[in-house]
Structure 1
Amino acid sequence: MNNFLFVAAENDAIANCKAGGMGDVVRDVPREIARRGDKVHVVVPAYSRLHHNGTFRTKLNFRLRGIDYSAELYVVAPKKEFENIIHYVIHHPEITEGGIAHIYHDDPTEPFFNDFIKFIVFNTAVAEAIKMGAFGELDVVHMHDWHSSALLFLKHYHPDYKVLKKMRYVYSIHNLAIQGIRPFYDNYASVNNWFPEVELDHGALKDPRYHDCINLMAVGIRLADAVHTVSKAYKEDVLLPSARPEFVGGESLEGDLQKANNEGRLYGILNASNYQNIRQAEKGLLYRNTVKALFRWLQDESKKYKADFLAHTGEKIMEYVSNKPKFIVSSVARLTEQKFYFFMRSPESFEKILQRLQQVDGIFMLLGTGDPDYEQLFRDMSYKHKNFIFTNGQSEDLIDSMYLETDLYFMPSLFEPCGISQMLAMRNGNPCLVHHTGGLKDTVEHMKTGFAFDGKTFSAKLADMVAKFDEALNVWEHDRPKWNRIRANAKKMRFTWEKSLDEYYEKLYLL
């Protein structure tokens, strides 16, 4: 039996520990490993809240900033029990929750200040737990994004953690754009402040642009035994320099990724979707679940400033309870540049889509929270356009209903390392309209399983987005047999963890 440790910022196998697709991966991959008879330990930060109903396992004592620290390791109950998987959280007062999904901090004036502190404390506690044997004799440590890569820094450079060198380290990149860049010196959230005893190898740790800073995403890429992008097409993208907004590629780390590729350490393996134990949703509850979510949000103190908008959305949705639209387009995502830059850059393109939708008595439903500028854009658009329903919050019941009852799922991501939403929509037999990039290239085929837009320049992409939307509606209006074939093909597609894990074992884990 092989023994694995997963180290991440998110884990959707436990309640209230997810902000994005990484949480799904950290939930699903251990289940597939356990199904094969191997053992998995999954550890995430407690964020001052996730340890409350946990079982205390051990104290973790270590030194940071030249002083003694003591963190606590807890075993916590998952949403669903699986044999051979144990879920842990690490609690320390400095591992605080942020405003983004109660996990990450948004530090606009000094990027990564708070997150750097909490993930340094977390990683050092994990290193101590490995050293103590809290997870047993490990064969593979699988880390996810920059939040876990300080483990590699400790393994390579910290005199107390030489014992970490024994096992194999795999590093998965979920979002290359968020890199965890902080100064080496002269700041509370700097490397030297937290590790004064470590002689810093600036050349091996520095950011390619800011030479006085560490880049923790780069540390993961440079020091892991295997580096993994979450789709084959995204691997090809990141080997090239970014030329925003036309193309988002290596984000200044293409040199490091090319080196990893030349050394045979870089692999593109597609994330997968879950086709078993699916949370069951009932058809016909779309509008009821929208209203229920709105009522719940109206009672939430933090949404009081949005009360007028929530009431406006409620009035809109009530019209559709008795007078159902003929076509529903939907989108569920965090409201960020990555997901909706096309709409932010060109609201008029989005308006053309809404006008075209109006011709077929259709509506566009968008659910999400995120960047305040994007939230404001969509609130303004909702006041302006009767057939645009923006639910500015998170609700699992409503998300399930949207995936179940939509006719076309829209995913205009500027870049997409893999994407899970298109897989969930296709699982329900809903064709997707996507930007032909990254993992969306690997999962959606134009006019076969869905629709895809592209272009050589940004304005060409915008024009093609509107044109392909029109094309999709034309198929639905005038060629229903073809539409039904595309739907059936989408539903038949299977992106399984079983298939992806075969590649993990062969290429990443070497087991």
Structure 2
Amino acid sequence: MQRNFLFVSAENDAIPLCKAGGMGDVVRDIPRHIAASGDMVSVVTPAYGRLHLKGTFIEELHFVYRGQPTVAYLYEVPGKKKIPNIRHYVIDHPDIKSGNIADIYMNDFTQPFFTDACTFSLFTVAVAQAIKQKSFNVLDICHLHDWHTSLLLLLRRYHPDYQQTLNDIRFVYSIHNLAIQGIRPFDGNYSSMKAFFPYISFDNDKLKDPRYPDCINLMAVGIRFADTVHTVSDSYKENIQEPSNFPHFIGGEGLENDLKNAQLEGRLFGILNGCNYKNYTIAKRGKLYPNILRALFKGLDDEEKSYKHDFLKHTAEKVVNLIEVKPAFICSSVARLTEQKFYFFKEDPALLESMLRRLKKDEGIYILLGTGAPDYEELFRSFSYAHDNFIFVNVQSEEVIDSLYLESKLYLMPSLFEPCGISQMLAMRSGQPCLVHNTGGLKDTVVHQKTGFVFEGDTFEEKKINFMQVFDELLNLFFNDKTRWRSISRAAKRQKFTWENSVERYYTLLYKMAYHAPIQNKRRKPRAESNSKENIVR
């Protein structure tokens, strides 16, 4: 019998222009594997004032929000690929608009989550109404992603219009990044629970943030009320049950007791995200520098980013020089410029300085592609002006990213913490070893001196020292022991962190139902395709 799933998320990379990070990849890939097993999947996101424009209108959704009747509009939109058993939807409303981060989220400097909480509270009520109207047919599973969607669980618990409908469905809640929690006041603010739902009675003690009792913590709501809670790697699940000790260790970020309770109740599971190993874009070798130049010229056409134009010209001049005099070694990173990804360099710029000096001894360069927080962009622009072997590509370009995964010799991922990470998997897929911090999903996917390189330490200072030690050692290995380096590269490429393995665990642990594997996947898999820890290295 065909089961019916609904994925509710802020992102969905299965449709164009609806991705800001790794969550979009997961929401693209998991439904494809569920659909391949014969079950039906609907995926719904906000329209952000733009995603519905090429869609097909389905129906109106009438509901009460901020104490007033309102109407939203449900559209079905085409996916990037037409896949049987999958339907993509967006919800449009005048108050659901594009943000300033990937045209999805809003970076509110004075009141974090102010705008996003307004957007996603409205969105979740509209989704609840769509479920009540059976817009997605009768559901068996509703899979929520991060704090943006957890209010559906609050409606399930407290809202008289939706309790009965939502209680008939099993709810799964995935944590993609515990550090972003959606904390807002209970009252006294336009972006508060009382403003969103003035006539609904809540139990504030069950909703409050453990550090700020006058605020709701929407990440905590998901953890406390979901039938099952999921983290995107096994090690991250263990990390977040321990208290944080910033910057030495990033753990539960105030929610460790909630997560321990979920673990004791048998509701908490860690399942590593997967990676695609077929039907993906493969870059053409030798196109890295032309692709960078094209991306920079495209950036020069963006008048809204005119303040970057002089820097982009500076970067283009450096790239032209690299075409003429090719470096002996390239290491690279691709990431949003945030505390999570590059705190090591922001807190201690001397660490980046030391790394670039060490690279220069061997005629090596470091290419970093990313956009993000203004203070991080400013830091990396200053380093680009000061160091000819640091290439800061301060634009977004899928073509450049694909080339970096193919043509770099080392992928650098010094994340302060990492729930799962996808970049290390993509680099390894191309046979590129990675240098990673021993944390979360990075710990679960890279084995030191076997499939890549890992730095660690008990304190932040120890980690910085070990980073430079390992970096020096790997450069010596690359230039002086080619046989060993090739062995590590081949071992990295052999790793297969497949979605097939992960989806089977989704069914068993999260959905609590039998998994019907697609016929083509029922044959015995090679041992190298397992992503369990004991099979990472062969």
What residue number does 2:109 align with?
108
Q: Give me the whole-angstrom Cα distance separating, in 2, the residues matched to 1:277 and 1:7.
A: 25
**Cα displacement string for residues 453-505 of structure 1 (whole angstroms, at most 9, x for unaligned residues):** 00011111011111111111111011110000000000000000000011100
3-state SS of the aligned residue for 1:208? coil
Does residue 126 in structure 1 map to residue 141 in structure 2? no
Q: 498, 501, 520: which one pairs with 1:499? A: 501
User: Partner amino acid for 1:106?
Assistant: N
Measured in 1, the distance between the counterparts of 2:414 and 2:82 equals 36
> Which residue of structure 2 lines up, in the alignment, with residue 464 of structure 1?
466
Structure 1 counterpart of 2:185: 183
Q: Deviations over 1:239-276 (max 9, x none)?
A: 00000000000000001000000000000100011112
The Cα of 1:280 is off from its aligned counterpart by 2.8
* Cα distance between partner residues in 2 of 1:474 and 1:73: 58
Report how far residue 277 of structure 1 moved: 1.2
| Mapped partners of 2:474, 2:324: distance in 1 | 26
Q: Structure 2 unaligned runs (5+)?
A: 514-538
| Letter matched to residue 48 of structure 1 | G
Q: Which amino acid aligns with 2:249?
A: F
Superposed CA deviations along residues 81-130 of structure 1, whole A, max 9, x for unmatched, are: 11100000000011111101100001111111100000011000000000
Work out the CA distance in 2 between the residues paired with 1:380 and 1:302.
21
Matched, 1:352 2:326: no
Secondary structure in 1 matching 2:61: strand
Q: Percent of aligned positions with the same letter in both sequences?
A: 60
Shift of 1:423: 0.2
Within-5 A mapping of 1:311-460: 311-460=313-462
Counterpart AA for 1:216: L
Q: Structure 2 matches for 1:84-163, cutoff 5 A? A: 84-162=85-163, 163=165
Aligned counterparts of 1:406 and 1:82: Cα–Cα separation in 2:
34
In 1, the alpha carbon distance for the partners of 2:22 and 2:67 equals 36
Q: How does 1:16-27 map to 2 (within 5 A)?
A: 16-27=17-28
The alignment partner of 1:172 has SS state of strand
Match of 1:65 in 2: 66
Partners of 1:496 and 1:360 lie apart in 2 by 36
Instruction: Note if 1:209 corresponds to 2:193.
Output: no
- 1:242 maps to 244
Q: Verify: 1:52 aligned to 2:53, yes or no.
A: yes
Output one character per residue of 1:114-154: Cα deviation in whole Å (capped at 9) or x when no partner: 00000011000000000000001111000000000000001
Pair 1:39-2:40 in alignment = yes
Measure the CA separation in 2 of the matches of 1:315 and 1:108.
34
Q: 1:478 aligns with which of 477, 480, 490?
A: 480
TM-score, length of structure 1 as denominator length: 0.99
Instruction: Tell me the residue number matched to 2:12.
Output: 11
Q: Secondary structure at the match of 2:161?
A: helix
Partner of 2:167 in structure 1?
A: 165
How far did residue 63 of structure 1 move?
0.1
Once the two structures are TM-superposed, the CA of residue 322 in structure 1 deviates from its matched residue by 2.4
State the partner residue of 2:520: none
Alignment of 1:232 onto 2:234: yes
| Distance in 2 (alpha carbons) for counterparts of 1:100 and 1:367 | 16
C-alpha RMSD of the superposition: 0.6
Give the aligned residue type for 1:347: P
- Which one-letter code corresponds to 1:172 in the other structure? S
* Separation in 2, partners of 1:204, 1:301: 48
Q: How far apart in 2 are the matches of 1:206 and 1:276?
A: 44
Residues in 2 aligned to 1:311 and 1:109: alpha-carbon distance in whole angstroms: 33
Counterpart amino acid of residue 109 in structure 1: T
Q: Please name the residue that 1:83 is paired with.
A: 84
Q: 1:276 aligns with which of 272, 275, 278?
A: 278
Give 1:66 shift. 1.3
> How many positions carry a matched residue from both structures?
511
Equivalent position amino acid for 2:378 in 1:
Q
* Deviation of 1:307 (Å): 1.0
Deviation at 1:395, TM superposition (A): 0.5
Q: What residue in structure 2 maps to residue 266 of structure 1?
A: 268
The one-letter amino acid paired with 1:49 is: R
Which contiguous aligned blocks of 4+ residues in structure 1 show a shift greater than 4 angstroms?
none
TM-score norm. by structure 2 comes to 0.94
Letter in 1 for 2:475: L
The whole-number CA distance in structure 1 between the counterparts of 2:279 and 2:74 is 29
